[in-house]
Homo-oligomer: A and B are copies of this chain.
Amino acid sequence: MFGFRVEARSGRARAGKLLTPHGEIPTPVFMPVGTAGAVKAVTRRDLVELDAKIVLANTYHLMLRPGEDIVAALGGLHGFTGWPGAFLTDSGGYQVFSLEGLRELTEEGVVFQSHLDGSRHQLTPERSMQIQQRLGADIAMAFDECPAYPSTREAVDAATARTTRWARRCKDAHARAEQWLFGIVQGGVHSDLRQRSASELLALDFPGYAIGGLSVGEPKPDMRRVLEQLDAQLPEDKPRYLMGVGTPEDILEGIARGVDMFDCVLPTRNARNGQLFVQGGRLSIRNARYKSDPLPPDPACGCRTCLTTSRAYLRHLHLSGEMGAATLLTIHNLSHYLDTLRAARQAILSGRFEEFRGEKSRDLLGPAVS
């Protein structure tokens, strides 16, 4: 039911297949973020048509609303949402740690107040496993401690050590056969802590490994260095997931360093703000230069939005606060991300990933979008 195999390499970039109970996922893959069990501003059919293979849902949001009991009663995330593809759930940890001032951290876990109604809740490794098993995603994530950036070395060291202890408790508490549990490597920008974290998690033998604690504000060279270090240390035959990354350029940097899976709110959030990812750069649909522009957002794109809608109309809908703008712009941005990852995979399969990445970088340095 589960499996992963690397089919081709181009430099350090890998093209593979991830097998799940809800389909085969070609990698490298981008996972749209569906926080509350829905990718914002689009419906399931849009995601099917975009050929998205796997959606990320947030444990923190779903445990608070509607609650895992309701999701489980409706048949888990798949039954509840009707999404036929795969799901991955995060552990809830990252969201809880972001609730600055509303939380108390102990070895046992985290007590926090809901951002919705102030009610008190606890997340522990065991509780995160319990919730994620009831949500029933194809892939669950270990409950980790992700330190803020910047933090002192001592703080990162302690969080990394705790992440290992919690990973062990997650593994002990996890019993759902139809679900893979991934470990999360922490360690900030410190090579020795990353090394220790990875080696401790490898000893626990997870079927896949995520790289946490990057893209949290550190300089890009640090991110690249950590990715290169982990590429050498993580097993070749298991999937690697770079959490919360990122721009199309960051994703290509990750692929070049052996990463297989990515997620980020950028394409969906930016769409709602009128920011489009297009061939050669970015485009703000609010710009007055587009007010009578009959071109589609990206003339090189084949998505439903670009095939049917002008910049002028999209600008009008966006400035008028019409929800349809968010829908159409989200469809385009997700299409751009998914197409970029599919093209990267093809480039790897044909052994020319570095050439492909070079072309993409030159695109970004090219003339501004007309």
Binding site for B on A (CB under 8 A): 36-45, 61, 65-66, 70, 73-74, 80-82, 291-292, 294, 304, 308-310, 312-313, 315-317, 319-320, 322-324, 326-328
Contact = CB atoms under 8 A, between A and B. Distances in A.
Q: Which 5 pairs from chain A and chain B are nearest by CB?
A: A36-B320, A66-B316, A41-B323, A73-B292, A323-B323
A65 B319 contact: yes
21 contacts: A36-B320, A36-B322, A37-B316, A37-B317, A38-B322, A39-B324, A40-B322, A40-B324, A43-B324, A43-B327, A45-B304, A65-B316, A65-B319, A65-B320, A70-B291, A74-B292, A74-B310, A80-B313, A80-B316, A81-B313, A82-B310
A310 B44 CA distance: 13
A312 B43 contact: no
A36 B322 CA distance: 8
B80 A312 contact: yes
A288 B44 CA distance: 24
Each complex incorporates copies of this chain amounting to: 2
Contacts of A326: 323
A77 to B, nearest CB: 10
B74 A313 contact: yes
Given A36-B316, A80-B313, A292-B74, A44 B308 contact: yes
A313 B315 CA distance: 31
Given A36-B322, A80-B316, A82-B313, 9 more contacts: A36-B316, A43-B324, A45-B304, A65-B316, A66-B315, A66-B319, A70-B291, A74-B310, A327-B327
